[in-house]
Amino acid sequence: MSDLFNLTVTVNGTRYERAIEPRLLLSDFLRHELGLTGTHVGCEHGVCGTCTIMFDGQAVRSCLMFAVQADGHDILTVEGLGTVEELHPLQDAFRDAHALQCAFCTPGFLMTLVPFLEQNPNPTEEEIREAIAGNLCRCTGYQNIVEAVKLAAQRMAT
């Protein structure tokens, strides 16, 4: 076994310190070490998008980072986006537009779309479709997801 690394990382505003193996993927660290299972694991090679989180404010694939690389950095997962009592406007829009069925892909979509809408508060349908091209959904056929983004953009503008 390789030497353990002392990791310090902030996740959803809370600072964590853990001793971990370098080979531990960030996705598995979040799920197994921190119990934050909202971040999902699908393909482990970067194409499906279910593991997408926000790392220092940017959308990244947590399956393509080792947890040790997050030392000193700032992570937001879907658990940090909103609460059941107070959903993020994007989560509200997903519910209202029926943009989820099994919801396995949903956290990855949300964490992709939050930074996207920050940079593009008024996107065209073309821009939305391009932005979500890196997230796969087997249930919805994507149409309602696109509608949810339009709805969220509208609501967040007011």
Q: Is the dihedral of CA 118, 124, 128, 130 positive or negative?
A: negative
Decide whether 83 or 122 has the Cβ nearer to other proteins: 122
Q: How far is the CB of 50 from other proteins (least distance, A)?
A: 11
7 touches 73 (CB < 8 A): no
The torsion defined by the Cα of 140, 144, 145 and 149, in degrees rounded to 10, comes to: 180
Decide whether 72 or 98 has the Cβ nearer to other proteins: 72
Lookup: tokens for 54: 């926000």
Q: How far is the CB of 18 from other proteins (least distance, A)?
A: 15
Can you tell me the distance from the alpha carbon of 60 to that of 77, in angstroms, rounded to the nearest whole number? 11
How remote is the C-alpha of 6 from its chain's centroid? 25
Nearest-CA neighbor of 74 among 13, 123, 33, 134? 13
Q: How far is the CB of 56 from other proteins (least distance, A)?
A: 9
Decide whether 23 or 138 has the Cβ nearer to other proteins: 23
Question: Interface residues with other proteins (CB under 8 A)?
Answer: 1-3, 5, 21-23, 25, 28, 44-46, 49, 52, 55, 58-61, 63-66, 68-69, 71, 112, 116, 130-131, 133-134
Q: How far is the CB of 111 from other proteins (least distance, A)?
A: 9
Decide whether 112 or 140 has the Cβ nearer to other proteins: 112
